[in-house]
């Protein structure tokens, strides 16, 4: 019997607002525990929530980017359950009328395009953090409590772990491009849970599904889904039944484990939040958001392809992250040698980002300086080799390329007279090699070039050096 998998994803993205969803506390990550809190997000007696407009706009941006219907009326609801990191004993979320519904995202996998439907995108508040491993107690930090989240729920249209990985990647890229979330799965600003079931291939009856959580990277999502699907297939193949349960992915052991706590009966007793009025999104507001929508990845790619005459492959790499594309286009303001920018980026910059594990935002060389550097190569002020040196210098020293060149006296020597002199000197002091060259040993040429470069500390214009050396040596033949 052949099986197929049915996968639906629930993705939570922390929104990049300055303040929390219902109060003015900062959302800044990494502050000392319990310092980004106030009576409102702590659920003190008598407090009331006030809705952050920007969070609503960010949610609508995501809805527009995924072709959702932006609902004209939308309401908040209370999701009631008890957990120590949920101060009010309920989470303000959305239930019956979410901000966005019925959208989709197209993904490409194995040369096939496929539409994954998005049932809904809604806005809700995050809970605090529980720390369980410090002893025979649990510690609570409410900094994260009240940070805005969007929840993206797909239809069970995903059929393989790889598709799930691609979908999640696309979502990640979009939220980053939209400027609404930093997409960091390791830090938890992007989280993914999956609902998984299997059925006989070709059937349209859904099997019992399990919920898989704790997958904190795209790779973990793919691995966990692979594991769970196999686990389910094994059970069903040997005549067993799938038990509906919540499972956790253990990335260290690379296995699926059941959740250790006893399942709370999931009766959330949703009802409309009485403390928050209805949200009405009229055409006017929607148009303002539409007009100000940051460029979506697919659109940016197309535009960059037509605007910069560089290979599609380069554009693909440059647009994998919005910040890469930003860096490129910023640099392109300072030089129109786009191919060079692309080359520098793909070979040097990416390497450094990977080695030092930093983001392009933390990369020390300003786009302006890279542009300047390329200009200086192109107008022959410095050679490509010296440029590399300047580049490396800029990684650790502040200062523009021109400043560094001046300081370190790296200007390319293009004065033919000076080069002639030096070439002459080198020829005269390397008679043995001259003899070898004249006898036909072409490889020795490189030796002369090397000597000239040494004499000039690498600053001699290489093409001039080549030209003059050849001339002089050929003259000697006569």
CB 20 within 8 A of CB 153: no
Q: Is 272 in the site for another protein (CB under 8 A)?
A: yes
CB 77 within 8 A of CB 274: no
Q: Is 46 in the site for another protein (CB under 8 A)?
A: yes
CA distance 446 to 142: 67
Out of 11, 66, 68, 88, point to the residue binding another protein (CB under 8 A).
88
Token digits for 59? Answer: 């949610």
What is the nearest approach in angstroms of another protein to the Cβ of residue 391? 39
Q: Is 89 in the site for another protein (CB under 8 A)?
A: yes
Q: Is 82 in the site for another protein (CB under 8 A)?
A: yes
What is the nearest approach in angstroms of another protein to the Cβ of residue 210? 19
| Residue that has been written with the tokens 């920018």 in this structure | 341
Strand order of the sheet with strand 69-70?
69-70, 100-109, 112-125, 148-154, 3-14, 190-200, 210-215, 246-250, 255-258
Between the two ends of the chain, the Cα-to-Cα distance in Å is: 85
Among the candidate windows 77-85, 107-115, 353-361, 441-449, which touches another protein by CB under 8 A? 77-85
Out of 10, 12, 54, 400, point to the residue binding another protein (CB under 8 A).
54
H or E element, residue 177:
helix 161-177
Build a one-symbol-per-residue string for 273-302: x at contacts with another protein by CB under 8 A, - elsewhere. -xxxxxxx----------------------
Q: Is 115 in the site for another protein (CB under 8 A)?
A: no
Q: Is 250 in the site for another protein (CB under 8 A)?
A: no
Q: Which residues pair with 213 in a beta bridge?
A: 248
Out of 219, 269, 333, 351, point to the residue binding another protein (CB under 8 A).
269
CA distance 285 to 70: 11
Q: Residues in the chain, how many? A: 478
Alpha-carbon torsion (417, 418, 419, 424), positive or negative: positive
* 3-class state of residue 134 by DSSP: coil
What is the nearest approach in angstroms of another protein to the Cβ of residue 38? 5
Nearer to another protein, 32 or 440 (CB): 32
CA distance 25 to 144: 10
CA distance 58 to 285: 13
Q: Is 398 in the site for another protein (CB under 8 A)?
A: no
What is the nearest approach in angstroms of another protein to the Cβ of residue 49? 7
Provide the CA 182 distance to its chain's centre, in angstroms. 7
Nearer to another protein, 140 or 317 (CB): 140
* 3-class state of residue 64 by DSSP: helix
Nearer to another protein, 53 or 351 (CB): 53
CB 123 within 8 A of CB 94: yes
Among the candidate windows 127-135, 199-207, 397-405, 435-443, which touches another protein by CB under 8 A? 127-135
Nearer to another protein, 76 or 345 (CB): 76
Nearer to another protein, 170 or 273 (CB): 273
Please calculate the CA angle 17-33-176 and round it to the nearest 5 degrees: 30
CA distance 74 to 98: 6
Out of 7, 8, 49, 327, point to the residue binding another protein (CB under 8 A).
49
What is the nearest approach in angstroms of another protein to the Cβ of residue 91? 11
What is the nearest approach in angstroms of another protein to the Cβ of residue 361? 21
Q: What does DSSP assign to residue 360?
A: G
Build a one-symbol-per-residue string for 305-334: x at contacts with another protein by CB under 8 A, - elsewhere. ------------------------------
Q: Is 17 in the site for another protein (CB under 8 A)?
A: yes
What is the nearest approach in angstroms of another protein to the Cβ of residue 30? 14
What is the nearest approach in angstroms of another protein to the Cβ of residue 284? 12
Out of 3, 47, 114, 411, point to the residue binding another protein (CB under 8 A).
47
Among the candidate windows 125-133, 217-225, 302-310, 415-423, which touches another protein by CB under 8 A? 125-133
Q: What's the longest Cα–Cα distance across the chain?
A: 101
- Binders of another protein in range 131-160 (CB under 8 A): 131-132, 136-142
Nearer to another protein, 142 or 391 (CB): 142
| Residue that has been written with the tokens 């020390």 in this structure | 364
Q: Is 232 in the site for another protein (CB under 8 A)?
A: no
CA distance 279 to 171: 25
- Size, binding site for another protein by CB under 8 A: 64
Residue 63's nearest CA partner among 15, 109, 98 is 98
CA distance 478 to 473: 9
* 3-class state of residue 332 by DSSP: coil
- Binders of another protein in range 19-38 (CB under 8 A): 19, 23-26, 32-38
Contacts of the segment 281-289: beta carbons below 8 A, 24+ positions apart = 281/56, 281/60, 281/70, 281/71, 281/72, 281/73, 281/74, 281/99, 282/72, 286/60, 286/70, 289/57, 289/60, 289/61, 289/64
What is the nearest approach in angstroms of another protein to the Cβ of residue 247? 15
State the residues that interact with another protein by CB under 8 A.
17-19, 23-26, 32-39, 42-56, 75, 78, 80, 82-84, 87-90, 130-132, 136-142, 260-261, 265, 267, 269, 271-272, 274-280
């Amino acid at each position: 019997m052949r099986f197929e998998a049915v996968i639906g994803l629930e993705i939570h993205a922390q929104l990049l607002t300055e303040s929390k969803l219902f109060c003015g506390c900062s959302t800044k990550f990494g502050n000392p525990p319990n310092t980004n809190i106030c009576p409102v997000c702590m659920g003190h007696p008598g407090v009331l929530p006030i809705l952050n407009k920007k969070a609503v706009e960010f949610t609508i941006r995501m809805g527009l980017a995924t072709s959702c219907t932006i609902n004209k009326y939308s309401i908040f609801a209370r999701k009631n359950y008890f957990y120590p990191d949920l101060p009010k004993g309920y989470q303000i979320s959305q239930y019956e009328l979410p901000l966005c519904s019925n959208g989709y995202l197209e993904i490409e996998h194995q040369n096939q395009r496929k539409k994954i439907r998005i049932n809904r995108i809604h806005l809700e508040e995050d809970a605090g953090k529980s720390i369980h491993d410090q002893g025979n107690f649990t510690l609570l930090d409410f900094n994260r409590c009240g940070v805005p989240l969007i929840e993206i729920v797909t239809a069970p249209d995903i059929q393989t772990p790889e598709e799930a990985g691609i979908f999640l990647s696309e979502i990640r890229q979009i939220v980053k491009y939209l400027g609404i979330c930093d997409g960091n799965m390791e830090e938890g600003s992007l989280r993914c849970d999956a609902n998984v079931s299997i059925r006989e291939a070709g059937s349209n009856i859904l099997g019992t599904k399990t919920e898989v959580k704790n997958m904190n990277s795209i790779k973990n999502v793919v691995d966990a889904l692979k594991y769970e699907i196999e686990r389910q297939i094994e059970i069903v193949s040997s005549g067993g039944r799938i038990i509906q349960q919540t499972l956790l992915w253990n990335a260290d052991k690379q296995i699926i484990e059941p959740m250790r706590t006893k399942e709370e009966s999931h009766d959330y007793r949703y009802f409309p939040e009485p403390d928050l009025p209805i949200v009405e999104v009229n055409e006017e507001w929607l148009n303002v958001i539409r007009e100000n929508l940051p460029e979506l990845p697919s659109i940016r790619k197309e535009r960059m392809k037509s605007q910069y005459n560089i290979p599609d492959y380069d554009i693909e790499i440059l647009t994998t992250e919005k910040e890469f594309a930003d860096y490129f286009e910023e640099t392109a303001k300072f030089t129109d040698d786009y191919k060079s920018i692309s080359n520098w980026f793909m070979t040097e910059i990416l390497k450094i980002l990977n080695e030092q594990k930093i983001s392009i935002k933390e990369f020390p060389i300003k786009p302006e300086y890279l542009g300047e550097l390329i200009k200086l190569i192109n107008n022959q002020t410095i050679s490509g080799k010296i440029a590399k040196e300047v580049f490396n210098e800029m990684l650790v020293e502040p200062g523009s390329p021109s400043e560094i060149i001046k300081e370190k006296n790296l200007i390319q020597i293009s004065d033919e007279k000076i080069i002639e002199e030096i070439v002459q000197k080198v020829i005269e002091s390397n008679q043995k090699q001259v003899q070898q060259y004249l006898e036909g040993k072409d490889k020795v040429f490189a030796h002369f070039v090397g000597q000239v470069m040494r004499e000039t500390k690498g600053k001699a214009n290489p093409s001039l050096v080549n030209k003059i050396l050849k001339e002089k040596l050929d003259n000697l033949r006569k």
